[in-house]
Amino acid sequence: MTATILDGKKLASEIRKELSSKISSLSEGFTPILAVILVGENEASKIYVRNKKKAADEIGMGCEIIELASSIGENALLETIYELNDNPHINGIIVQLPLPPHINPLHILSAISPLKDVDGFNPYNAGLLACKEDNAIISATPKGILRLLKQSGVELSGKHAVVIGRSNIVGRPTSTLLLNQDCTVSITHSHTQNLPEIVKQADIIVAACGCPNLVKKDWVKEGAIVIDVGINKVDNKLCGDVDFTEVSSVASFITPVPGGVGPMTVAMLLENTFEAAIKQQSHHQHQHCKCKHCQS
Ligand code: NDP
């Protein structure tokens, strides 16, 4: 079997095109705006933020980057978030991770208004997702993974999904999202015993552990769908957590790295911001709205 490629680059470009036309048809004077807070000088973070701004610019979405010194205190950073929460022109707020070690990310992410939390990292949104509530803002990478799985056209209900990794930003929310799709989900991590045997039982594999080429051909059941979230650099070349060359000979569908989950993550962030903007607009237009902007 030679796997069909789930082309995240192509799908993401289609989603961005659709968003672009939706934005251009919004009423004049209303442009969704994403605020990105970047703390410190992490080079990888700067590249990610630049890419997000470029993607927003290309679809006519506003993107304000707020650069803060790594020495900033937790309280000052919280103040910045409260101001953005209160600013009616800002529709989405994200804080680029990682933060400097003296700042507790949970304190910061919890302070973002759930309505503007377009990364879906506020525990309130994570909780809504866990409760299978439709109004949860779902974080971009898991949401992009689900879109790629749907692209395969394969029915997800009843399938055994094995997720490798349990981080708050990828493994956990992806597992929850797949559970909400009626998959039977096994969550694995660095303490899991017999990982290859567990992975071999999977109809769907999501590899998100940051271990270059970890998943080998003999870990994969013939016909499994393989989503590779990993972004690793080996010998200055990007690779995922799945040995693509080997595994694509047994999988039915597989995502490449680069060009798989990565571009979908950015597209889903833009989609979340657009959707948040529309919700906020109707909230403010609501005649009974008691928020201070509608009362002033
Ligand atoms: P984390 O380092 O936060 O989490 C890694 C997870 O993998 C942990 O749960 C860890 O277990 C588990 N793990 C580590 N080694 C093994 C192993 N040998 N076997 C089984 N499980 C293991 O990483 P992230 O979740 O943030 O990211 C994972 C990967 O995805 C990275 O390569 C990252 O660059 C990439 N990524 C890609 C994105 C995209 O858009 N394509 C977006 C975000 C991340 P334990 O909990 O026990 O430590």
> Partners of 39 in the beta sheet?
68
Q: Return the best residue to mutate from 99, 229, 272 for the ligand 1 pocket (most ligand atoms within 8 A of CB).
A: 229
Dihedral of CA 165/169/170/173: which sign?
A: positive
Query: Please, what is the average pLDDT of the chain?
Result: 95
SS3 state of residue 108:
helix
Cβ burial of 36 (10 Å; 0-12, 13-18, 19+) is buried
pTM of the model: 0.95
Paired strand residues for 66: 37
Domains and CATH numbers, the chain: 26-113 (3.40.50.10860), 140-261 (3.40.50.720)
More confident of the two residues 294 and 190 = 190
Whether residue 135 is predicted with pLDDT greater than 60 in this model: the reply is yes
pLDDT digits (tens, 9 = 90+) for 92-113: 999 999 999 999 999 999 999 9
For residue 210, report the distance from its CA to the centre of ligand 1, in Å.
Answer: 5
Cβ contacts of residue 106 below 8 Å, gap of 6+? 123
Interval 253-273 mean pLDDT: 98
pLDDT of residue 62: 98
Supply the DSSP symbol for 242. Answer: B
Residue in 117, 119, 241, 243 annotated catalytic: 119
Q: Are 147 and 268 in contact (CB under 8 A)?
A: yes
Average pLDDT over residues 50-56: 97
CB 116 within 8 A of CB 89: no
Residue 55 confidence (pLDDT): 98
159 is catalytic: no
Residue whose CB lies within 8 A of the most ligand 1 atoms, among 51, 121, 163, 189, for a mutation test? 189
Counts for the chain of helices (H) and strands (E), in that order: 11, 11
Catalytic, 52? Answer yes
Is 265 a pocket residue for ligand 1 (Cβ < 6 Å)?
yes
What is the CB-side half-sphere exposure of residue 87 using CA atoms within 13 A?
17
Rounded CA separation 41/38 (Å): 8
**96 belongs to the catalytic site:** yes
The predicted pLDDT at position 162 comes to 99
Q: Which amino acid is at 242?
A: V
What confidence score (pLDDT) does residue 28 get?
Answer: 81
Which pLDDT band holds residue 27 (cuts at 50, 70, 90)? Answer: confident
Model pLDDT for residues 156-172, shown as the tens digit of each residue: 999 999 999 999 999 99
Atom 17, ligand 1: which residue's CA is nearest? 190
